[in-house]
Structure 1
Amino acid sequence: MLWSSIASFAALTAVVNGQYDGETSPPSYPSPWMRGGNGWADAYQKAQAFVSQLTLLEKVNLTTGVGWEEGPCVGNTGSIPRLNFPGLCLQDSPLGVRDTDLNSAFPAGVNAAATWSTRLMKSRGNAMGSEHRDKGVDVQLGPVAGPLGRSPEGGRNWEGFSPDPVLTGVAIGQTIQGIQDAGVIACAKHFIMNEQEHVRSATPPEYEFSYSSNLDDKTMHELYLWPFADAVRAGAGAIMCSYNQVNNSYASQNSWTLNYLLKNELDFQGFVTSDWWAQLTGVASALAGLDMTMAGDQGLNSGDTYWGSNLTAAVLNGTIPQWRLDDMVVRIMSAYYKVGRDKTSVPVNFNSWTLETDGYRFPESNEDFTQVNWHVNVQDDHAALIREIGGASTVLLKNVNKALPLNKPKSIAVIGEDAHDNPGGPNACGDRGCDIGTLAMGWGSGTANFPYLISPNTALKAQAADDKSQYVNVSNNYDFDAVTKAVTGAEVAIVFANADSGEGYLTIDGNEGDRNNLTLWQNGDALIAHVASINPNTIVVLHTVGAVIVEAIKNHPNITAILWAGLPGQESGNAITDVLYGKVNPQAKTPFTWGKAREDWGTDVMYTFPSDPPQLNFVEGVFIDYRHFDAAGIEPSYEFGFGLSYTTFSYSNLKITKNNPGPYEPTTGMTSPAPTFGTIDYNPAHAEFPPGFSAVPRYVYPYISGPIPTNLPQNWPAHSQDGSPQPKLAAGGSGGGNRQLYDTMYTVSATVTNTGNVKGTEIAQLYISLGGPTDPKIQLRGFDDLILDPGESETFTYEITRRDISNWDTVSQNWVVSAYPKTVYVGGSSRDLPLSGALG
């Protein structure tokens, strides 16, 4: 182990009630070098051969971005002209190709989670990966497991999947497999503890530092690290650091999170990139495990760099050993070969900085005006998948007296701005930075341009025309006179409302990324109440980034149905129409809990901090979302995993079979020494700009100019430059942790029957109680989507792994199965679990 004694664990062993101001992140060095395990052997071998050919400058070029707007993509590494290697293109986003045209706009991650369908999760990933591939992208900047979703107000929760680590872990793993099967590197982000937008980055003069997420080791492992273990196990080629600090060490140079947790314990074989300008040091970040810096410059358009020429100098003067630089580049190129970029790569055919055909190759420098966009249509037939996911992710929360599905109503009134088009078009606001018209994605870098957006009004009007239903619509949320006239006497009134959020560099209606409250936007709550006061058959459709307070809506006698449609992407209107009219039977289950009041969640965004550096203390430990509601005895409006169908289901015949995979064995032994590839020319003169070289202003180059500092003080962290064999971690040794964590301990099965009269899909869910006094009451561990005809039964089966029944032990730094009695539960939601049995 990297720890000299049990006493060294002190900084990691805070008890379950969390951490506090001033907590520190312990050092962990050296940075583990890649070994080519976990299905990476072939890629590793190819990367070794490639890197062995490279000069020092060429190696540095692959680790360092060329600067903001100095290439076609949002992130571009340097090239290797001698080998005809153009460099790497890194491009947002987690729901489609950002900043281009003729691409698709997919449902958000939270919608993918709401389907609870591994097939749809993987298909969505594959379609997105295909579009990135065909645009020439090497690395798709997604999917997202950070934020996990600690607080419902968190601005970027919708980019990820769910505040439950297992649902997020399954979703991120399936998405990564889909993306990489398409021949594109998936970059899981943001690692780690990036749980709110306020003060995620320093905001001088108010705050000189980013907030520090302070948490204990148990919470880290059992909650926030869990889905990243699944990302590593799925073979993710890249992981992006977050902006914030973790226990008062910045995530892009935090040796505990990068070296110890990610590269050592989880045995991550790919490369780690900074978020854009999240790197704050040069040598220190390299020694702490960072492999690539984006955008390459120190700040927006700064023209200087922590790496580039400085990394070259650090290698030449011996501050950074060759093995560490080689490991960075081999990791990058191994990810490239692992997904087959050498076979699937096409030249970049778009430009992030203009949608025009012609523009500057180096827009920040206004140099080299030429063709930069080829307008390649990459949409394929993805609209059908987007529509399917939109329907499959729509949660039916309430349905009184079979108000839904609709069947050719005589008259229909559609009310609310959220049902209608943005008059300026769906892309009128850059990065979707406004809340005008129907909401189909949040705002920020996690967006993509819509090729089109089918509004609910468009689709419902077409359906009404087919049915010969009288149709009226009102878009103004404040014109109650028009609303009153429209809904009076209508057979059904459908009210649409939304709540938006996004990344903190944009402020929308006073919301700086994170939501200021959990109410509906644009007068939505008052609009719904007004319609319901008039029309006795009011149906509410919510397009929201997460939970909102719906208790009054839920309990209103005239509101007969409520649907949460989330952020469904370009086919929004078609998808909701499919569900409203029964062309699609709802299968979705809510991937988060709906509380009755803001205080019910027990967590919140911290909007201002009393100190600098700001301290964000995760005192709740693992008790977020339903875990907190259960522990505190709080009744939600709708529990995690809840969702209705147009049919009904029953559960029976629980069976538990114990397996005997053998005892858990900690990983032991030593690594091989750090390898080097090729030779380094240590002559500084050979690292200077070539004679007559014409440099692009503010472009980041690897060349040095002037003398290199020597005789530097030897004050780098102990062992940080040590390439000798290192002890393996007991909990490590394989992708996602010790391979025996994934041994099957029990096989659980149950019979699920469709007891209704229409075909439907039930999401069978399995929860486990670990039994300890500090454990959550129950925790999700498995699920499956079962498609059943009326009267049909099917067997739901889940194999419980050792990991599923283990707790993290901070002293041994390993997973252990406690002696407390463990119980398995199976049913249709976290509070509807009719079957239970002991795990003997």
Structure 2
Amino acid sequence: MRLGFFDGDPSKQPYGNLGPKDVCTSANQELAREAARQGIVLLKNSPGSLPLNAKAIKSLAVIGPNANATRTMIGNYEGIPCKYTSPLQGLTALVPTTFAAGCPDVQCTNAALDDAKKIAASADATVIVVGANLAIEAESRDRVNILLPGQQQQLVTEVANAAKGPVILAIMSGGGMDVSFAKTNDKITSILWVGYPGEAGGAAIADVVFGYHNPSGRLPMTWYPQSYVDKVPMTDMNMRPNPATGYPGRTYRFYKGETVFSFGDGISYSTFEHKLIKAPQLVSVPLAEDHVCRSSECKSLDVAGEHCQNLAFDIHLRIKNKGKMSSSQTVFLFSSPPAVHNAPQKHLLAFEKIHLTGKSEALVSFKVDVCKDMSVVDELGNRKVSLGQHMLHVGDLKHPLGVMI
């Protein structure tokens, strides 16, 4: 509506005659590349692995069914891309490469291992790009198996065992994958989740692999093991666990079982230090003299009341980039409420993304509305603020906060 397309003849409106020449400007193509860079999540990085040094790499093995992907990178609900840069093309633009798909497609019913292992054994480093595409996950195509499709796991494992240098596994998918085997395999030195990174995805992957961009993406969902999928019916959308039936619950808020990776995971080539500068230890809720909780013990308070008006506090943090490289950092503020009303084990209150040059620091402030941000939903669907001790989390920091009357 803001574009004016409901205001008569679109061609007579300010944006009615936009076409490829407007969409495919150099600035917009660079924006596609930057969006892909910011979305890449580094999940594992062993010492001496990433970033690779482009000047030191004389040969790079590029392997996998998504290594030369184009159409796959834009997922669905997509527009028409200006051009594609596949992972193979992006990496080849920086260093000499050799390529073997290893699988004819992502279904990978019959992996061709010999060529893939041969080029990995002679290369200075290996990048393996695996995952899914719209033939496996899309509208009306829900996955009941979250392992790498077909023989992709075998391809990754055997190539990693044969490889001479670092092995970087890049996973191209919309949803999570159970890659526990790669997480625990010391031969696989780095793991990247690139999502469906769009038309410039291959260039963005190369930027991250060779350190021209310091990764800062975070997982937007928890990655469960295959055993979770085997146990939990897809049609059961209950968030909270049910001990009576053995149902384990869903999401980082309620699920306490084993995960492959968790919501918010994501590391960088830099390390960051968080220091709490200001936060209250106690918040007092002002209740009317005749409020029922003045005369009886209450575990929580309804958020619909005058006591919730302007009930807020500030948190100030100092974030320091201890590395030499510039990097963005997403600062998450979580809260763990008291164990009443089947409350979540923790939930996200706020977040802010900042950019820090190497060895620099910055202040980050959050204003927390107690009744809006720290409330939970009780058994009857009413929103309540739990009384008692809450625990605030930022990175490795924990800060107790009492909410009392």
Same structural fold, with TM-score higher than 0.5 when normalized by the shorter chain:
yes
Distance, in Å, in 2 between the alignment partners of 1:341 and 1:649 is 53
Q: Report 1:284-295 matches (<5 A).
A: none
Q: Which residue of 2 aligns with 1:218?
A: none
Q: Report 1:345-494 matches (<5 A).
A: 345=13, 377-380=22-25, 381-408=27-54, 409-421=57-69, 426=71, 439-443=72-76, 446-464=77-95, 470-477=96-103, 478-494=111-127
Deviations 1:526-566 (A, max 9, x none): 21112111014211011111210011011112111110101
Superposed displacement of residue 776, structure 1: 1.2
Distance, in Å, in 2 between the alignment partners of 1:345 and 1:731 is 46
Q: Which residue of 2 aligns with 1:577?
A: 206
Distance, in Å, in 2 between the alignment partners of 1:533 and 1:584 is 28
Superposed displacement of residue 663, structure 1: 7.0
Distance, in Å, in 1 between the alignment partners of 2:9 and 2:339 is 47
Q: Which residue of 1 aligns with 2:219?
A: 590
Letter in 1 for 2:387: A
Answering whether residue 258 of structure 2 is matched by residue 627 of structure 1, we say no
Q: Which residue of 2 aligns with 1:836?
A: 399
Superposed displacement of residue 814, structure 1: 5.1
Superposed displacement of residue 662, structure 1: 7.0
Superposed displacement of residue 493, structure 1: 0.8
Letter in 1 for 2:123: A
Q: Report 1:636-655 matches (<5 A).
A: 636-655=259-278
Worse overlay, 592-601 or 470-479: 592-601
Distance, in Å, in 2 between the alignment partners of 1:402 and 1:637 is 23
Evaluate the alpha carbon distance shift between residue 745 and residue 601 of structure 1 in structure 2; reply closer, same or farther with a 3 A threshold.
Answer: farther
Deviations 1:283-317 (A, max 9, x none): xxxxxxxxxxxxxxxxxxxxxxxxxxxxxxxxxxx
Structure 2: gaps spanning 5 or more residues:
104-110, 243-248, 289-301
Answering whether residue 377 of structure 2 is matched by residue 808 of structure 1, we say yes
Superposed displacement of residue 809, structure 1: 5.0
Letter in 2 for 1:542: I
Q: Which residue of 1 aligns with 2:106?
A: none
For the residue of structure 2 that corresponds to 1:418, the secondary structure is coil
Distance, in Å, in 1 between the alignment partners of 2:112 and 2:378 is 59
Answer whether contact 2:102 2:155 (CA < 8 A) is retained: no
Q: Which residue of 2 aligns with 1:59?
A: none
Distance, in Å, in 1 between the alignment partners of 2:11 and 2:316 is 43
Letter in 2 for 1:382: N
Superposed displacement of residue 792, structure 1: 1.6
For the residue of structure 1 that corresponds to 2:255, the secondary structure is helix
Answer whether contact 2:219 2:264 (CA < 8 A) is retained: yes
Answering whether residue 352 of structure 2 is matched by residue 789 of structure 1, we say no
Answer whether contact 1:601 1:624 (CA < 8 A) is retained: no
Q: Report 1:289-328 matches (<5 A).
A: none
Letter in 1 for 2:335: I
Distance, in Å, in 1 between the alignment partners of 2:195 and 2:138 is 21
Superposition TM-score, scaled by structure 1 size: 0.40
Superposed displacement of residue 822, structure 1: 1.9
Letter in 2 for 1:398: K
Deviations 1:420-456 (A, max 9, x none): 146xxx3xxxxxxxxxxxx31334xx23333322101
Answer whether contact 1:627 1:776 (CA < 8 A) is retained: yes
Letter in 1 for 2:260: S
Q: Which residue of 2 aligns with 1:240?
A: none
Q: Report 1:190-229 matches (<5 A).
A: none
Evaluate the alpha carbon distance shift between residue 601 and residue 654 of structure 1 in structure 2; reply closer, same or farther with a 3 A threshold.
Answer: farther
Answer whether contact 1:768 1:825 (CA < 8 A) is retained: yes
Q: Percent identity?
A: 24
Answer whether contact 2:388 2:402 (CA < 8 A) is retained: no
For the residue of structure 2 that corresponds to 1:787, the secondary structure is strand
Distance, in Å, in 2 between the alignment partners of 1:739 and 1:346 is 47
The one of the two structures with greater contact order (alpha-carbon pairs below 8 A, sep at least 6) is 1
Distance, in Å, in 1 between the alignment partners of 2:32 and 2:308 is 35
Evaluate the alpha carbon distance shift between residue 488 and residue 786 of structure 1 in structure 2; reply closer, same or farther with a 3 A threshold.
Answer: same
Q: CA RMSD in A?
A: 3.6
Evaluate the alpha carbon distance shift between residue 835 and residue 600 of structure 1 in structure 2; reply closer, same or farther with a 3 A threshold.
Answer: farther
Which of 754, 779, 789 is 2:321 aligned to? 754
Answer whether contact 2:11 2:17 (CA < 8 A) is retained: no
Q: Report 1:523-672 matches (<5 A).
A: 523-536=151-164, 537-599=166-228, 603-606=232-235, 618=238, 620=240, 623-630=249-256, 634-657=257-280
Evaluate the alpha carbon distance shift between residue 402 and residue 806 of structure 1 in structure 2; reply closer, same or farther with a 3 A threshold.
Answer: same
Superposed displacement of residue 748, structure 1: 1.1
Distance, in Å, in 1 between the alignment partners of 2:382 and 2:9 is 36
Evaluate the alpha carbon distance shift between residue 419 and residue 647 of structure 1 in structure 2; reply closer, same or farther with a 3 A threshold.
Answer: same
Superposed displacement of residue 761, structure 1: 1.6
Deviations 1:488-531 (A, max 9, x none): 12110110001235xxxxx6599942113102235321211121
Letter in 2 for 1:480: L
Letter in 2 for 1:775: A
Distance, in Å, in 1 between the alignment partners of 2:137 and 2:176 is 18
Answer whether contact 2:171 2:193 (CA < 8 A) is retained: yes
State the number of aligned residues: 370
Superposition TM-score, scaled by structure 2 size: 0.80
Superposed displacement of residue 617, structure 1: 6.0
Letter in 2 for 1:420: N
Distance, in Å, in 1 between the alignment partners of 2:222 and 2:344 is 15
Evaluate the alpha carbon distance shift between residue 650 and residue 421 of structure 1 in structure 2; reply closer, same or farther with a 3 A threshold.
Answer: closer
Q: Which residue of 2 aligns with 1:24?
A: none
Deviations 1:683-727 (A, max 9, x none): xxxxxxxxxxxxxxxxxxxxxxxxxxxxxxxxxxxxxxxxxxxxx
Evaluate the alpha carbon distance shift between residue 739 and residue 441 of structure 1 in structure 2; reply closer, same or farther with a 3 A threshold.
Answer: farther
Q: Report 1:13-52 matches (<5 A).
A: none
For the residue of structure 2 that corresponds to 1:605, the secondary structure is coil
Distance, in Å, in 1 between the alignment partners of 2:267 and 2:204 is 17
Q: Report 1:162-241 matches (<5 A).
A: 183=3
Deviations 1:439-492 (A, max 9, x none): 31334xx2333332210111111111xxxxx42111241221211221112110
Answer whether contact 2:343 2:377 (CA < 8 A) is retained: no
Distance, in Å, in 2 between the alignment partners of 1:396 and 1:462 is 22
Superposed displacement of residue 393, structure 1: 1.0
Distance, in Å, in 2 between the alignment partners of 1:552 and 1:461 is 28
Distance, in Å, in 1 between the alignment partners of 2:378 and 2:10 is 43
Evaluate the alpha carbon distance shift between residue 747 and residue 756 of structure 1 in structure 2; reply closer, same or farther with a 3 A threshold.
Answer: same
Deviations 1:754-778 (A, max 9, x none): 1222222221111011213311111
Letter in 2 for 1:752: I
Answering whether residue 167 of structure 2 is matched by residue 519 of structure 1, we say no
Superposed displacement of residue 750, structure 1: 1.6
Answer whether contact 2:74 2:199 (CA < 8 A) is retained: no
Evaluate the alpha carbon distance shift between residue 462 and residue 742 of structure 1 in structure 2; reply closer, same or farther with a 3 A threshold.
Answer: farther
Evaluate the alpha carbon distance shift between residue 790 and residue 344 of structure 1 in structure 2; reply closer, same or farther with a 3 A threshold.
Answer: farther
Evaluate the alpha carbon distance shift between residue 599 and residue 551 of structure 1 in structure 2; reply closer, same or farther with a 3 A threshold.
Answer: same
Superposed displacement of residue 579, structure 1: 0.5
Evaluate the alpha carbon distance shift between residue 661 and residue 382 of structure 1 in structure 2; reply closer, same or farther with a 3 A threshold.
Answer: farther
Letter in 2 for 1:822: H
Letter in 2 for 1:383: Q
Structure with greater helix share of residues: 1
Answer whether contact 1:661 1:745 (CA < 8 A) is retained: no
